[in-house]
Structure 1
Amino acid sequence: MTAYDSAADVGLLILRLVLGLTMAAHGYNKFFGKGGLAGTAGWFDSMGMKPGMFHARIAATTEVTAGLGLAVGLLTPIPAAGFVALMFVAAWTVHRKNGFFIVKEGWEYNLILAASAVGLATTGAGRFSLDYALFGTSDLASLLHGWWGLTIAVVLGLAGGIGQLVIFYRPPAKQGG
């Protein structure tokens, strides 16, 4: 292993930990933050994701599991797909109407989280990951990065996010007019 390889693996570890633990914290907050799961459910109901309690549980659980999965680098394209689905739904239901920039509560942050997770699925989780510890450089490992990792993360993530919106999202009627 060269010094570059070692530094790149540390870089991937840092990125995985920051992205993954940030996402897991969002899920934890949905479960246990102010208002708890009931408050999260009410918020989901108000934005048209009904039934709110179902979506609160799914979102919180997915955020925690995808976040922790990415942080430890376990089957990396799968948690990356979770990021894509979560961020696509959040961008569409909450942030789309506000434009791109986060300073106006736009979808910029959602894009950065999803694209970063897809980038990790494409590069692979690195040597300091469970993917590497469990699969090393085996044939199965080749499905956990590169074009396969990219495809799994994007296709599975978009299918999950779009499917959830098509089945469940009913935007509230606009008031006034």
Structure 2
Amino acid sequence: MTYDSALDFGLLLLRVVLGLTMAAHGYNKFFGGGRIPGTAGWFDSIGMKPGMFHARVAATTEIAAGLGLALGLLTPVPAAGFVALMLVAAWTVHRANGFFIVKEGWEYNLVLAAAAVAVAATGAGKYSLDHLLFSGTGFYGWLYGWCGLTIAVVLGLLGGIGQLAVFYRPPAKTG
């Protein structure tokens, strides 16, 4: 196995694990214990109102971004979805708990977002739909390197910050 094929396999492994992990979170919001109504109630309770809207948007985005990254399809776009999702989760749920995941902090959110951005920067590799559909075209260069990284970060931050600015209303402190 050559370096290039090992690199492409490593990118495939990373994309599939990251992507299917994110997609599983979306699937769980749709079909897990509380389903969408339970997720909506939780979103309302953390200040993301209307909860039903955000439950559907979050679940759909998690599935779409997860599958898009796993398949390596227009890779910077699903990576931007990771950034937006993880920014909103970190800010609304985990920020007050500090960094470490053992205290329900934002560590895991950072790792998922950074890994997705790194994939956007390196490109999805040869074992991806990006390579299959776009290699040899001028468009392919937009899907990795500084372009891919910039698209993932800028779209992700705009999406996450925009969602927080428009919809997030922190719950009133009690006690």
Give the structure-2-normalised TM-score.
0.99
Partner of 2:55: 56
Partner of 1:164: 163
TM-aligned CA deviation for residue 139 of structure 1: 1.2
TM-aligned CA deviation for residue 78 of structure 1: 0.1
**2:162 alignment partner AA:** G
Q: Deviations over 1:118-175 (max 9, x none)?
A: 0000000000000000011321000000000000000000000000000000000000
Partner of 2:143: 144
Partner of 2:39: 40
Q: Which runs of 4+ in 1 moved over 6 A?
A: none
Q: In structure 2, what is the Cα distance between the partners aligned to 1:108 and 1:79?
A: 20
**1:84 alignment partner AA:** V
The answer to whether the aligner puts 1:20 opposite 2:13 as a matched pair is no
Aligned residues: 175
Q: In structure 1, what is the Cα distance between the partners aligned to 2:76 and 2:38?
A: 31
Q: In structure 2, what is the Cα distance between the partners aligned to 1:79 and 1:137?
A: 22
**1:111 alignment partner AA:** L
Q: Deviations over 1:69-108 (max 9, x none)?
A: 0000000000000000000000000000000000000000
Match of 2:49, SS? Answer: coil
Q: In structure 2, what is the Cα distance between the partners aligned to 1:12 and 1:35?
A: 34
Aligned pairs for 1:1-16 within 5 A: 3-16=2-15
Aligned pairs for 1:70-149 within 5 A: 70-149=69-148
Gaps (5+ residues) in structure 2? none
**1:49 alignment partner AA:** M
Aligned-residue sequence identity (percent) comes to 77
Match of 1:50, SS? Answer: coil
Q: In structure 1, what is the Cα distance between the partners aligned to 2:134 and 2:87?
A: 30
Partner of 2:67: 68
Match of 2:120, SS? Answer: helix
